Amino acid sequence: MSQIVFSIVLAITFIVFAYSAIKIYKLFRLTKPAYPVRDFGKRIGRTIVNAFFQERIFRNRIAGFMHALVFWGFLAILVGSLEMVIDGLAGTERVLSFLGVFYDAIMAIGDVSAYVIALFIVIFIIRRTMLNIKRLHGKELSKKNHADALLALTMIFLLMVTLAGMNIFYLAGHNEIVGIYPISAFIAPMFAGISIETIHLLHEINWWGHILLIFIFANILPYSKHFHIFMSIPNVFFSRLTPLGKMTNMDSITKEVKMMMNPETAFAAAPEGEATPARFGILDAEDFTWKNYIDSLACTQCGRCTSVCPANITGKALSPRKMIIDIRRRMKEKGPHLVKDKNYSDNKALIRGLISVEEIWACTTCNACAKECPLNIDHPTFILDLRRYLVMEESAAPCELNAIFSNIENNGAPWQYSHEDRLNWVE
């Protein structure tokens, strides 16, 4: 009976998760190309360093150290979770124990991690609710954002409690033990006076509680900021490999300039299938690239980007974290309608809707945010594309830039002097 119930619950979990994944896939299909994905060796190396070794997270030594241990602990616990799924379907117990020494090591790490993670989660909750840590707050974080974070932390805490309970009552109720459980082995003898039936019941309660929490948590994640649990490693893998300060050119504009510089090709036929871009830069959800969207799904809303932004520090409206959150908000708001009708309009836009012009022009493109982000999110490239729309579609640049554009057009240089007068400064 328990196998039948487990199979039904697992099937429901997969169906619900597949439904959420399909919705996200449809939104990805709306996005535009970003850049070709090449150099897989470099990408794998970067993923190992940034994602698995958590290189950037250690810039904040205390919080970074705790987060890294939580991440590494989860990796070990995943093996135990896989074992639970197999046991639930097959009616076995500790089915992966044939792995021997490796199994002992994984179980030992998982057992220690359960207690360490539970402790760190309590610390994280205290930091969020009682300590006034600036980067954990901000105008872009609503009550819903904070509630989402606390819900996820609470569920992770309960996952660790049920895992520890499962190990404790497994040790208390069995004579032949497989695996090593360093901390639970000290706690299990405290329950020696309880009947074996009660111990078995408590083990089953913790076993089912743990696996059901995993299934529920997995299906909450696509709608939570903690979706980064799934998206962070892919986002690091697909992150840009070019230097952060390098600004990309728009191919369509480059081709136009080349044609102007070489009149002989001005009337050459364009390659078959080549079309003029529908829009320069980014105005709204339909202009996002796949990298913009995956950035927004991977964002942990940790605020490290905003905390180092010189514009934000000096009181400007810009918050790099808000920019990335707004991508996800706008896609969630408009994307489902665009899936049904690509011409859909709600008479709103990302620019002047969620993101003000003041925010867009406050960025100094120093790339401090992108360098600090532990998940390699590329904030400046997105902001530059917002600027491209304002400049190339609306001619809505600040007056200082418009003067430069006018001088380049009239004088061939950013300065207001003609070619003949350019060396007058010598006199």
Q: What is the CATH number of the domain that holds 217?
A: 1.20.950
- Mind listing the pLDDT tens digit for each residue in 92-125? 888 999 999 999 999 999 999 999 999 999 999 9
What pLDDT does 267 receive?
Answer: 53
What pLDDT does 274 receive?
Answer: 55
Q: Are residues 203 and 68 in the same domain?
A: yes
pLDDT-derived band at 409, boundaries 50, 70, 90: confident
The total of other beta-carbon atoms located within 10 Å of residue 316's CB is 16
Position 255 pLDDT exceeds 90: no
Helix (H, G, I), strand (E, B) or coil at 140: coil
The total of other beta-carbon atoms located within 10 Å of residue 361's CB is 20
At CB < 8 A and 24+ separation, what contacts does 327-330 make? 327/288, 327/292, 327/293, 327/295, 327/296, 327/382, 328/293, 328/296, 328/297, 328/299, 329/354, 330/284, 330/285, 330/354
Kindly report the average pLDDT of the chain as a whole number: 90
Q: Are residues 189 and 75 in the same domain?
A: yes
Q: Are residues 115 and 209 in the same domain?
A: yes
Distance CA 243, CA 102 (A): 40
Percent of the chain with pLDDT over 90: 62
pTM of the model as a whole: 0.87
Q: Are residues 198 and 308 in the same domain?
A: no
- Could you tell me if residue 110 is inside a domain? yes
CA angle 137, 138, 140 (to 5 degrees): 125
Tell me whether residue 337 is exposed, middle or buried, using C-beta atoms within 10 angstroms of its C-beta: 0 to 12, 13 to 18, 19 or more: middle
Distance CA 275, CA 279 (A): 11
Domain termination residue (choose one: 196, 229, 262): 229
List phi, psi (to 5°) of 149.
-65, -45
- Mind listing the pLDDT tens digit for each residue in 260-294? 787 666 555 455 555 566 788 999 999 999 999 99
Structural domain for 299, as ranges: 251-396
CATH of the domain at 333: 1.10.1060
Position 395 pLDDT exceeds 90: no
| Cα–Cα nearest to 141, from 293, 300, 284 | 300
Distance CA 257, CA 253 (A): 6
pLDDT-derived band at 170, boundaries 50, 70, 90: very high
Helix (H, G, I), strand (E, B) or coil at 324: helix
Q: Do 320 and 299 contact (CB within 8 A), yes or no?
A: no
Q: List Cβ neighbours of 14 (8 Å cut-off, separation of 6 or more).
A: none
What pLDDT does 273 receive?
Answer: 52
- Could you tell me if residue 238 is inside a domain? no
- Could you tell me if residue 98 is inside a domain? yes
Domain count, the chain: 2
Position 376 pLDDT exceeds 80: yes
250 Ramachandran zone, left/alpha/beta (phi>0; psi -120 to 50): beta
What pLDDT does 193 receive?
Answer: 82
Q: Are residues 151 and 255 in the same domain?
A: no
| Cα–Cα nearest to 306, from 293, 281, 325 | 325
Q: Are residues 327 and 382 in the same domain?
A: yes
The residue whose two tokens read 């300060």 is: 245
Q: Are residues 255 and 222 in the same domain?
A: no
Overall average pLDDT of the 63-72 stretch: 90
Q: Are residues 63 and 199 in the same domain?
A: yes
Q: Are residues 223 and 276 in the same domain?
A: no
Q: Are residues 9 and 46 in the same domain?
A: yes
Domain termination residue (choose one: 165, 194, 229): 229
- Could you tell me if residue 83 is inside a domain? yes
- Mind listing the pLDDT tens digit for each residue in 174-230? 888 888 999 999 999 998 888 999 999 999 999 999 999 999 999 999 999 889 889
What pLDDT does 245 receive?
Answer: 83
Q: Which of 32-46, 135-149, 266-280, 377-391 has the lowest mean pLDDT?
A: 266-280
Overall average pLDDT of the 136-151 stretch: 88
- Could you tell me if residue 19 is inside a domain? yes
Distance CA 344, CA 354 (A): 18
What pLDDT does 359 receive?
Answer: 95
- Could you tell me if residue 362 is inside a domain? yes
What pLDDT does 135 receive?
Answer: 86
- Could you tell me if residue 243 is inside a domain? no
Q: Are residues 274 and 137 in the same domain?
A: no
Q: Are residues 274 and 224 in the same domain?
A: no
